[in-house]
Amino acid sequence: METQIHGHDVLDFMIASGVNYTRATLVQAMQAQFGPDARYHTCSADGMDADQLIDFLASRGKFRGSEAGFTVATENVCQH
């Protein structure tokens, strides 16, 4: 069964972990935390896999850093 996870849950998970991620390590962490078949959604998009969610969040300025290591840009996370 497919699990639907909100993007905010991924951002909260990243913040709580305190880890700097690369794309590969974030995908691995998301699969470990939410399951390999999880699909992701936000307030404006749905049906995304882990890579698509990462692209979506990055395009909206939700990450700080580079592909070599990034964290959540908490100042750019909406609080709803």
**Residue 20 and residue 69 in contact, taking contact as beta carbons nearer than 8 Å:** yes
Domains and CATH numbers, the chain: 4-76 (1.10.10)
**Residue 23 and residue 67 in contact, taking contact as beta carbons nearer than 8 Å:** yes
Crossing angle, helix 23-34 and helix 50-59, to 10 degrees? 120
Of the candidates 32, 22, 11, 25, the residue with the CA atom closest to the CA atom of residue 77: 11
DSSP-derived pairing of the beta strands 63-66 and 69-72: antiparallel
Write out the chain's pLDDT in tens, 80 residues. 568 999 999 999 999 999 999 999 999 999 999 999 999 999 899 999 999 999 999 999 898 887 788 888 877 777 65
